Structure 1
Amino acid sequence: MSVVLSQSVFLAEQVRDHEGPAAKRSGVTLYELMERAGLATYQQAISYFPKASTFVVLAGVGNNAGDGYVVARLAKQAGKQVTVIAAISDKPLKGDALSAQQAWLDAGGAMTADASAIEQADIIIDGLLGTGIQSKVREPFSTLIKAANESQVPIVAIDLPSGIHADTGVVQGVAIKAAVTVTFVGIKQGLVTGQGRAHAGTLEFNDLGIEDAFLK
């Protein structure tokens, strides 16, 4: 990890607008970027919580969920017991997130809308809401976030704790209180300002191998 990127802070839009071109310039597809993000999250999860054998992955409907499905697949392949709770189970995913979900299903995975598995988890992976949220968290996301927080199970957030505004660090009504947040490509301003700092827990950064192109 280079000092330049790990100490620079970006607006969510800057990361969103430039990670695609940077990936392309690095010869990496956006799906490969998602695979790398999922792997980075999984590796940090087992590094911080090596005894965790029962994983619950909370999945929304965007790319954050796609990263979550990658984590779920890797955990299952490593012999963990994995439950994916899909926030909106009847809303079809698109693009790379759909590919990641399909890979999870192909690996023998399934999705449930039943949140009761949260109580039995050793670790929760937060893939509910990404950096795009601009308004108050709505149902069913708010209920899942509250259930995860109240469970006292350690939570690893993907990129940003769900419910935190990526630029201001403000809690949008309700937000995940993570033990660890694994953030990618550029550190979002909301992770180091406002309430975001407390909700992120320990911050781990991964440039997903596209740092040089991203900085250009």
Structure 2
Amino acid sequence: MSEKRTIGILGGAGQEGSGLAVRWAAAGHDVLIGSRDRARAETAAAELTALLPGGTIRGVDNAEAAHAAEIVVLTVPYAVQQATALAAAESLRGKILIDVTAPLAPPKVGTVQLPAGGSAVVALQQALGPDVTVVAAFQNISAHHLRDLDHVMDCDVLVSTDSAEAAEAVIALVADAGMKGWHAGPLANSAAAEALTSVMITLNRKYKISGAGIRITGGAGH
């Protein structure tokens, strides 16, 4: 495990948030999952804790998760991305915010539909201001197998941020979740990962893949 962290996951009762919660808790981190509905978070936390060989996951509301955490993870749908983060803006000051958002616009989620300006995550950084270090990561992983700790997550994670220190911290958390992270450059490059999400959805559907992912080849260990 990397340095032990307290991680707060906003929207953590959803599929991707809960899966990451299980993997990070299993790796030894203190994990809080947040929800707009505290009771829902508490129920989800109890279910997730039952999957762990040891340790616990705590369920709280989004505000408490953001306040108590050292690193905050945003795992909500694009439609409520900015509203959820801005509601916790004061608690996010001085912290890393990992944003997994891809700007999917139902019903055509398999079609790339980037927002004006090119990146949903860049737009969030602009809205939050420089006191919050936003990092884009985990946009291109399948949440389908995350909760299964015996399942090997055979994919890489692109990490985009303007902070080299934040990139290092997030890449360590990617490793703790059982994947390999790559610093893919500045936050503006998150537009590529956001667009790839729709491509991965299309591949999953067309080729009946249970969880398509990406792999960076030619590097050490590949």
Q: TM-score range by the shorter chain?
A: 0.3 to 0.5
Please report the TM-score for the alignment, with normalisation by the length of structure 1: 0.45
Please report the TM-score for the alignment, with normalisation by the length of structure 2: 0.44
